[in-house]
Structure formats: structure tokens, C-alpha cells
Amino acid sequence: VRTQVAIIGAGPAGLSLAHLLAREGIQSVVLENRSRDYVEQRVRAGVLEQGTVDLLDGLGLGERLHREGMVHNGLSFHVHGRRIRLNLTELSGGRSIYVYGQQEVVKDLIAARVAAGAPILFEAEAVALDDLTSPTPRVRFLQHGDEDVLECDFIAGCDGFHGVSHQSLPAGKAHVYEREYPFAWLGVLAAARPNEAELVYARNPRGFALHSMRSLDITRLYLQVEPDEPLDNWPDKRIWDELQARLGTTEGWSVNRGPILERGITAMRSYVVEPMQFGRLLLAGDAAHIVPPTGARGMNLAMADARVMASALAAYYSGRRTELLERYSDDCLRRVWRAEYFSWYLTTLLHKHGDTDGGLLDRSQVAELDHLATSHDAAVAFAKNYVGLETV
Ligand SMILES: Cc1cc2nc3c(=O)[nH]c(=O)nc-3n(C[C@H](O)[C@H](O)[C@H](O)COP(=O)(O)OP(=O)(O)OC[C@H]3O[C@@H](n4cnc5c(N)ncnc54)[C@H](O)[C@@H]3O)c2cc1C
């Protein structure tokens, strides 16, 4: 098989890249190691920043998002019985966030790709990337037990943190920055009406909690837990009681309960590969960088990378101009490092960090939240980061 761009991974990065390239008349083949059903059901992110919505609108794929998604103009913090609400839209000069599940974005992108008759191979696992510095790199992949080869001009490594792409960077050619946090998130999806129309972040001496939602009838809730916590330690009643204890600290706020549809524990990690390219291999999304989910940035960063990569490849194919390709990594990393900092800041601000510092961090967290509540400038800076920075 031969194509112009081989895209590894049918997540938000790979799928949006495939559409952006098609709009420029550039051919691609998407390889995805899971089944279509699996990737369309995988519950993950749900907060889209304005730039991501603009990207989907620009592709003509925002119709269901605008019909079924929810626009949020603010968020709240619950801290020591106090409620702090930030009006993100006012503070950021008119930008908003949208709540629409990542799996819905993936479904929309796959449906449009299939409808266009463009190639997307499911249950096709990339196992090795060859000849990365030649003009004709190759992806070896396995499908239904047979090995095949995809020849191309460029490889877009959009296969996430566990994929083959970033592992294919030769030793010494990239620097890896990494931090594992000493806690994890227990996430549940429940058939329960959200308590309110916006996100609520709780900073509590028992640990962090987050109230979010996917629709008017489905809540998405998170609890800070130990990193090695077995899921069996958390029967339904314990989950609901703990959510109530952490989130329900302001008067009259009682978490709506309902059947739990899905649950899982997610490790918290910050991770960056620099540079995000080697030869004809360009990385995008979680293959190149991970942020802890507190700042709701990961999917948005993945799609922002895709936009930068598509522009660089369009410049190359329209006139063999390589400047944008050469600075692809630098252009992406400016936004990535800002998001890494903001995600670390919000994670540090809201989580319990153990009792080793004599309460110093605890008191500092409360002081910072008070600052956000009382300083307009601090709230503006927070809101601009949360709704997403202007694109490069
Ligand atoms: C609990 C949780 C909550 C989150 N909340 C948010 C949020 O609110 N907002 C936000 O922006 N982000 C959030 N994120 C992060 C977000 O989900 C990721 O950043 C996003 O999925 C990255 O997209 P991607 O396309 O880079 O990678 P992925 O979505 O991981 O896609 C990579 C794809 O590559 C495939 N693949 C892997 N290896 C191979 C191979 N060898 N061959 C072929 N295919 C392969 C995988 O199956 C997968 O489909 C959250 C994450 C979690 C876990």
C-alpha cells in the first residue's frame, strides 16, 4: 500500500489530521489497532475549548456537537464550605468551553471519513517504523495476523502514550521530560442528572473531587485515590458517600446518585518528548505529550497539533516549502509547555499531597484559591488558560 501520509492512530489527533489533510487534497491512510466499536465507546475527555470547536466547525463536522453539546460559561470551586465561581466567558473576553464526550467527537470524525470513502483500517497495528530519514519511510503493520507494509512520504505518529511512534525515536535524538504524580483519579460515568449545569472542582482535606457531565442525564465524576488503588476497594456506596463528603461542603449541595455505567482508575502524569519530530516522523497528541487531566487540555492539545501539522504538510505539498515542517515541533511545543504548566498548577492547587509538609501546601492552596476569588487579574489569567490559549 502507498499513500502520502501514513497516520498511526484513530484518536482525536489522527482523525482530525486525516480530515484536515483531505481538505488540502492530501491523501492519507489511518491505521488503528482497535476495532471501530472500541474506539467509539472509549470514555475519556469531555471538555472542548473554543479552538477545538472552531476546528470541527471549519471541517463542517460541528453540527451534532452544537446540537447535543453543552456550552459552559463558568466553573466553580468548593473549598472549605465556600463556593467560588469564575465566569470564564466574561473573564476571557468572550470565549467558552463546550462539554461533548471525546467518544462523540471520534464517532463524528470516523463517520465522515467512512462516508467520504477514505481509507481507515481498524484492527491494524503498527509494529515498526522504518527508513525515517529517507524520502520514503515505511510502516510495518499487522492486520488479521498478516504483516503488511504502508509506504509513504511522511508518518504522523498519533498513537498515544502506549503507541509505537515515540518509541521509534532513536536514542539520543529526543529528550523525555516526565513526572508521575503520587495519586490517581477514579472516574465514574453515572446515569444521574448533573447537580448543576457547570463543572465543580472540590479541594478538600479528604482529597480532590470533580463534578462534570456528558449530557442532561449523565454525570461524570472523579475522586482522587491512591495510585495503586484496586477498583474493588470502591463499591458504589463508598464512591457516592465520598463524592458527597468532598463536593457537598457548601450548604444544600447534595450529589445526585444513580446507576454507575462505567468506572476506571487513571494514572496522573506529565510527559513531553522534545523535539516532536525526527526525519519524516512527526508526533502529535498523547504520543508526544501528556498532561494530568485536571486542566482538561489533552484532547485539545492533540487536535491543535493536528492543525499545525496539516498546515506544514500543505505548505510542503503545494510548493515543496519546508520551513513549517522544520519548525513543526517548536510551533507545537510553545502551546504544549504552557498547557503543561497550567495543568501542573491546577493539579497542585486542588489535590491533597500528603501530610509531610506540616500543612504548608494546604494553607498555600487555600491562599491561592482566595486570590482567584478576590483578584480580577488573577481570575482573568486563570480563565484565559482554562478556555484555551489563542492558536499559534
Ligand atoms: C479520565 C480522563 C479524562 C480526560 N479529560 C480530558 C478533558 O476533559 N479534556 C481534554 O482535552 N483531554 C482530556 N483527557 C485526555 C485525552 O483523552 C487525551 O489527551 C486524548 O485522547 C489524546 O488524543 P490522541 O489522539 O493523541 O490519542 P488517543 O486518543 O490515545 O488515540 C491514539 C489511538 O492510537 C491507537 N494506537 C495505539 N497504538 C497503536 C498502534 N501501534 N497501531 C495503531 N494504532 C495504535 C489507539 O488505540 C488510539 O485509538 C482525559 C483523559 C483521561 C484518561
Compute, in angstroms, the gap from residue 136 CA to the centroid of ligand 1.
28
SS3 label, residue 135 = coil
In ligand 1, the atom with minimum distance to the C-alpha of 163 is 38
What's the pLDDT tens digit per position in 221-258?
A: 999 999 999 999 999 999 999 999 999 988 889 999 99
Residue type at position 370? D
pLDDT > 90 fraction of the chain, expressed in percent and rounded: 90
Nearest-CA residue for atom 5 of ligand 1: 45
Compute, in angstroms, the gap from residue 27 CA to the centroid of ligand 1.
23
In ligand 1, the atom with minimum distance to the C-alpha of 52 is 11
Compute, in angstroms, the gap from residue 359 CA to the centroid of ligand 1.
35
What's the pLDDT tens digit per position in 37-93?
A: 999 999 888 899 989 999 999 999 999 999 999 999 999 999 988 999 999 999 999
Compute, in angstroms, the gap from residue 17 CA to the centroid of ligand 1.
14
pLDDT at position 357, please?
A: 66
Distance CA 281, CA 152 (A): 11
Of 121 and 361, the one with more pLDDT: 121
In ligand 1, the atom with minimum distance to the C-alpha of 124 is 43
Q: List the one residue out of 159, 167, 171 whose CA is nearest residue 128.
A: 167
Compute, in angstroms, the gap from residue 41 CA to the centroid of ligand 1.
12
Distance CA 308, CA 187 (A): 31
Q: At what angle do helices 328-350 and 360-374 cross, to 10 degrees?
A: 110
pLDDT at position 355, please?
A: 67
In ligand 1, the atom with minimum distance to the C-alpha of 14 is 25
Residue 391 has pLDDT above 60, yes or no: no
Nearest-CA residue for atom 33 of ligand 1: 9
Pairing between β-strand 70-72 and β-strand 97-99 as defined by DSSP bridges: antiparallel
**Mean pLDDT throughout 132-138?**
97
pTM of the full structure:
0.94
Compute, in angstroms, the gap from residue 10 CA to the centroid of ligand 1.
9
For ligand 1, residues with CB inside 6 Å are: 8-14, 31-34, 39, 44-47, 102, 125-126, 158-160, 163-164, 187, 266, 285-286, 293, 296-300, 302
Contacts of 228 (CB under 8 A, 6+ apart): none
Residue 353 has pLDDT above 90, yes or no: no
Which of 50, 75, 159, 273, when mutated, tests ligand 1's pocket best, judged by the most ligand atoms within 8 Å of its CB? 159
Distance CA 126, CA 17 (A): 18
Q: Which phi and psi (to 5°) does residue 226 adopt? A: -65, 150
Nearest-CA residue for atom 35 of ligand 1: 9
Q: List the one residue out of 305, 54, 68, 371 whose CA is nearest residue 165.
A: 305
